[in-house]
Each structure stands twice: as structure tokens, then as C-alpha cells.
């Protein structure tokens, strides 16, 4: 079963599109975010696990990362900490998109270097505005 979020006759293509790495283990969430952000003109690379995270960053060179904290193979907090400890990566804004709704989860992510923190289900307009602000 597939969902068709966007009804366009052609794929949007923008040569100067900003690159976003989306790390989300839930297939439906990943597909919906990918389709929505692609429709908004971003170039999206997706990962469902953290196992190839740093290889993907090196090859794709994203300008922003959307990171889920609960992944099947690695702790999202650990990934966030690792990103912010590497001088070549620490400048990449990381927006956390998580189901962890406690204030302590948000504080921990922000203390580790997250730029923003969104609790699922997210408002796509607010997410898009946050992405634009981080990439400006």
C-alpha cells in the first residue's frame, strides 16, 4: 500500500535545492516527510537506521539533518552528540523530530546541540519555517 501525498504531474527539480538528510525509522513518517519536503523543493536523502549515518553524510553532504531519536540500531542522542563533536559536522543544523514528548527529552537534545525540537505529530508548516530559518 502506498500513499500519494502529492498530486503533481512531474517531479519538482531545483538545481540549487538545499540538501536535507532525513533519519526516520518509521516507513510512513519517512515517506510523508520525504514527499512533502521534496515538493517544497528540497533534495532529500533518507535513512531508516543509523548504521550508515556518517558515510551518508560524507557522500550526500547535507545542509540540514532531521533526526528521529528512537532508531532501531542506535540511540539518536548518541548520533546527535557525535555530530556535534566533529568539527567538520558541528555546523550542520540538526532538527530533532521525535515522539519523545517530555521536557527532559527536549532539554537533553538541545544541550547536545539540536537547533530545534519537534514532537510528533508535527505541524508541517512550522517544520518548513524552522528549516528555512536554519538554512538562511
DSSP state of 46: E
What does the pLDDT read at residue 7? 39
Indicate left, alpha or beta for 87 from its phi (over 0: left) and psi (-120 to 50: alpha): alpha
pLDDT in tens, 83-125: 999 999 999 999 999 999 999 999 999 999 999 999 999 999 9
Query: What is the C-alpha to C-alpha distance for residues 105 and 107, in angstroms, rounded to an integer?
Result: 5
What does the pLDDT read at residue 15? 44
- Domains of the chain, with CATH numbers? 19-135 (3.40.50.2300)
pLDDT in tens, 49-90: 988 999 999 999 999 999 999 999 899 999 999 999 999 999
What does the pLDDT read at residue 3? 42
Amino acid at each position: 500500500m502506498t500513499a500519494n501525498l502529492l498530486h503533481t504531474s512531474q517531479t519538482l527539480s531545483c538545481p540549487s535545492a538545499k540538501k536535507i538528510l532525513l533519519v526516520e525509522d518509521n516507513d510512513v513518517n519517512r515517506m510523508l516527510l520525504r514527499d512533502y519536503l521534496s515538493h517544497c523543493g528540497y533534495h532529500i536523502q533518507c535513512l531508516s537506521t543509523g548504521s550508515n549515518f556518517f558515510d551518508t553524510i560524507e557522500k550526500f553532504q547535507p545542509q540540514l539533518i532531521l533526526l528521529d531519536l528512537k532508531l532501531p540500531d542506535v540511540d539518536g542522542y548518541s548520533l546527535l552528540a557525535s555530530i556535534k563533536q566533529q568539527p567538520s559536522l558541528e555546523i550542520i543544523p540538526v532538527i530533532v523530530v521525535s515522539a519523545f514528548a517530555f521536557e527532559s527529552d527536549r532539554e537533553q537534545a538541545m544541550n547536545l546541540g539540536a537547533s530545534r525540537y519537534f514532537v510528533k505529530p508535527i505541524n508541517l508548516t512550522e517544520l518548513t519555517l524552522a528549516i528555512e530559518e536554519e538554512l538562511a
